[in-house]
Amino acid sequence: MTAREIRRVGVVGGGLMGGGFAELCALRGFDVHVVASGPASAARDHARLLRSLEKSVTKQKITAEQAAAAEAKVSFGADLGELADRDLVLEAVREDETVKTAVFQTLDKVVRAETAVLASTTSAIPLIRLAKVTERPGRVIGVHFFNPVPVLPLVEIVPALLTDDSTVEDSVEFVTTGLAKEVVRSPDRAGFVVNALLVPYLLSAIRMVESGFASAEDVDRGMTLGCAHPMGPLRLMDMIGLDVVAAVGDALYAEYHEPLYAPPPLLTRMVDGGLLGRKTGRGFYDYS
Ligand SMILES: CCCCCCCC(=O)CC(=O)SCCNC(=O)CCNC(=O)[C@H](O)C(C)(C)COP(=O)(O)OP(=O)(O)OC[C@H]1O[C@@H](n2cnc3c(N)ncnc32)[C@H](O)[C@@H]1OP(=O)(O)O
Ligand SMILES: NC(=O)C1=CN([C@@H]2O[C@H](COP(=O)(O)OP(=O)(O)OC[C@H]3O[C@@H](n4cnc5c(N)ncnc54)[C@H](O)[C@@H]3O)[C@@H](O)[C@H]2O)C=CC1
């Protein structure tokens, strides 16, 4: 069986991941519609996409014509009903199971084609729980991108227990041929392959800072200069968003009961205090 063609793509949530995905799809020539949580968010997401395309033109990564063509491919709205004609929808709202299941229930009602792929870029929520709130669990799958989406080449493909083989095939074809990314397949276990390894490392870095063992700067210098990582763990978490880091740590701890996955108190307090990293201007570092 050959993969079904995906031409019209939908995105729910135009934040860090959804926005990056929309930009990538548009640059690769797909028709993209992004649904935000409200009109004000949609306007912000649209403005961010334009800034990002402009930056790519200034850096001579793309031409002004390519940026204009990509811009013309993307539209923004605030109603999930606008995704009715999509061949694939990527859910990229915040890492909260209640919010995500509500989105999947609505997508199941509004996305017309029974053959459309309903995908989530969740980092750690079991895909089976999102699949089970729909009437078409066979078409639900995890398509987990890495941040920044336009830059990092990996996508984890995560079929749930009830995902059809054709859904896996369609998703792999879209990601590899359509978006020119590399795929790693993972079972539906919290953290998949990469985060199951990354989370203990990142949370251990917080514990080092929390206990006074080393400063954030020294931990980051150690890993960039000593291990050639592109950025240290504290700066990376500021980029990911500390709310996402805490939610993913919680999900892994709930699944495995392994203390290395448990969010340290400093992380929880920072999230309580709105110190979420780059997106709020302050995390382990100050961005104001
Ligand atoms: C408990 C933990 C739980 C975690 C759970 C949530 C997380 C997940 O589920 C999965 C994840 O995504 S984990 C995070 C994975 N990401 C990384 O590890 C990023 C590591 N850092 C980097 O790759 C570079 O520092 C980076 C590319 C960011 C920046 O590179 P540089 O420092 O060299 O800076 P630039 O020279 O400005 O950029 C290099 C090239 O990348 C382009 N770029 C950067 N940011 C971009 C963005 N946001 N969108 C589009 N393009 C972007 C930049 O333009 C440049 O390209 P060239 O000009 O062609 O070189
Ligand atoms: N931040 C990261 O580095 C990575 C995050 N992820 C996953 O991607 C997902 C999104 O994360 P981020 O982009 O970081 O979050 P974010 O907070 O940057 O973006 C979430 C967006 O969804 C919007 N939103 C919330 N509820 C909505 C609704 N009901 N309808 C429409 N839009 C809604 C918010 O307004 C926001 O713009 C999460 O599941 C996260 O685990 C996956 C890989 C990396």
- Interface predicted TM-score of the whole assembly (ipTM), two decimals: 0.96
User: Mean pLDDT over residues 78-82, rounded?
Assistant: 98
3-state class of 117 per DSSP?
strand
Distance 151 CA to ligand 1 centre (A): 6
Residue type at 93 in one-letter notation? V
Distance CA 234, CA 283 (A): 9
3-state class of 141 per DSSP?
strand
Q: Is 46 in the active site?
A: no
Distance CA 68, CA 51 (A): 12
User: Mean pLDDT over residues 185-195, rounded?
Assistant: 97
Nearest-CA residue for atom 37 of ligand 2: 15
Strands 154-159 and 31-35: unpaired
Nearest-CA residue for atom 18 of ligand 1: 236
Taking the model in full, what pTM does it have? 0.97
- 99 CA closest ligand 2 atom index: 29
Nearest-CA residue for atom 11 of ligand 2: 94
Is 59 labelled a binding residue?
Answer: yes
- The pLDDT assigned to 3 comes to 62
Ligand nearest to the CA of 233: 1
What angle, rounded to 10 degrees, do the helices at 233-240 and 242-256 form? 100
Is the CA virtual torsion 119, 125, 130, 132 positive or negative?
positive
Contacting residues for 61 by C-beta, under 8 A, at least 6 apart? none
User: Mean pLDDT over residues 166-191, rounded?
Assistant: 97
Q: Give the tens place of pLDDT for each residue, 105-136.
A: 999 999 988 899 999 999 999 999 999 999 99
- Protein residues with CB under 6 Å of any ligand 1 atom: 20, 59, 61, 123, 146-148, 150-152, 195, 198-199, 202-203, 230-231, 236, 240, 244-245, 248-249
Mutational pocket test of ligand 1: of 100, 143, 151, the residue with most ligand atoms within 8 Å of the beta carbon: 151
State what percent of residues in the chain have pLDDT above 90: 97
Q: What are φ and ψ of residue 143, in 5° steps?
A: -130, 90
Ligand nearest to the CA of 36: 2
User: Mean pLDDT over residues 41-50, rounded?
Assistant: 97
Options 123, 147, 229, 288, the catalytic residue: 123
User: Mean pLDDT over residues 56-62, rounded?
Assistant: 96
